[in-house]
Amino acid sequence: MRVLRAGICNTDLELTGGYYPFTGVLGHEFVGVVEHGPHELLGERVVGEINAVCSQCTHCRHGRRTHCTNRTVLGIVQRDGAFAQYLTLPTENLHVVPAVLSTDAATFVEPLAAALQIQEQKPIGSGDRVLLVGAGKLGQLIAQTLVLTGCDLHVVDRNRAKLERLEQSGIATDAAADVPAGEFDIAVDCTGNADGFAIARAALRPRGTLVLKSTYAGQLNVDASALVVDEIILLGSRCGPFAPALRLLAEGRVQVEPLIHARYGLADGLAAFERAQQRGILKVLMTMESAGG
């Protein structure tokens, strides 16, 4: 595939800080055009699931393909990623982008699928009170998907501008200090830091569900005894379903292009990473159309 567009996410930033010992080309949120592959895909704009699997191991055979023992992961584990002119993935990983969807918007399919994975793992409905901690790149998408369930959703973040963006869509926001303790059925932490984890944990009622929707660069100090006493369910969550993400975007039910704060060419990739790390910045895209023709 010839890469058209690629997005920088927090995992990319954490990889540069040593979160995981990866060496190679970063980037896993992308839109590309198939230049070599099956005839029916030639010339098509595509997005791609990031886990390339063996289909033979125990996890693959039991439907846990994203946990394949022998997997490579685009831009994360033993597979060069999308911050380049070209990349390769197995054909089975690819999804054609609908014509109605812009290339910029389609770049959000991978993180939007990750947001939807929460509902794949934990059904959420109108009777649930849900707290989302963190309104950054992924949090904005999680909020937009959770509100579609009809749940009583509240979002907290230290950055007021990010909360105001959600308020404009009718999503309730709170200051962290005002979050009531022990009153939420589900709490989602997508901050990747200890403070966010603590806010989410304190908000849960007994037998509530704590969803960890971010990688953590450091160690967390957790009161394991309190988790046992309150019978808290801990739910790790990462990659998700691409087909529903494409449908939501094509139907205009999730708005992503307003989240784009900057675009950079491939040659300015280091500057793009610097911009992506600045406080308050949401999505930074790298555009490759001008790179190499």
What pLDDT, in 10s, does the model give residues 177-199? 999 999 999 999 999 899 999 99
> Are 157 and 261 found together in one domain?
no
> Are 129 and 174 found together in one domain?
yes
> Are 120 and 232 found together in one domain?
yes
> In which domain, by residue range, is 53 found?
2-108+256-287
> Are 87 and 135 found together in one domain?
no
Contact by Cβ (8 Å): 171, 153: yes
> Are 167 and 281 found together in one domain?
no
242 in a structural domain: no
Going by the DSSP 8-state scheme, the letter that residue 213 receives in this structure is -
CATH of the domain at 270: 3.90.180.10
Which helix (H) or strand (E) segment holds residue 106: the answer is helix 103-106
What is the residue-averaged pLDDT of the chain? Answer: 94
Which is higher by pLDDT, 37 or 220? 37
> Are 13 and 101 found together in one domain?
yes
> Are 130 and 174 found together in one domain?
yes
Pairing of strands 260-265, 283-287: parallel
245 in a structural domain: no
> Are 128 and 207 found together in one domain?
yes
Pairing of strands 283-287, 172-174: unpaired
On the CB side of 274, CA atoms within 13 Å amount to 4
Total domains in the fold of the chain: 2
> What spatial distance separates the first Cα and last Cα of the chain, rounded to whole Å?
14
CATH of the domain at 177: 3.40.50.720
35 in a structural domain: yes
- Amino acid found at 166: L
Pairing of strands 152-156, 129-133: parallel
Question: pLDDT tens-digit profile of 14-47?
Answer: 898 877 788 999 999 999 999 999 999 999 999 9
> Are 129 and 88 found together in one domain?
no
> Are 102 and 118 found together in one domain?
no
> Are 59 and 162 found together in one domain?
no
In 101-240, DSSP assigns E strands to: 129-133, 152-156, 172-174, 184-189, 204-212, 233-236
- Residue 285: strand, helix, or coil: strand
Residue 292: band (very low, low, confident or very high) from pLDDT cuts 50, 70, 90: very low
293 in a structural domain: no
> Are 134 and 42 found together in one domain?
no
CA distance 83 to 86: 8
| pLDDT beyond 80 at 293 | no
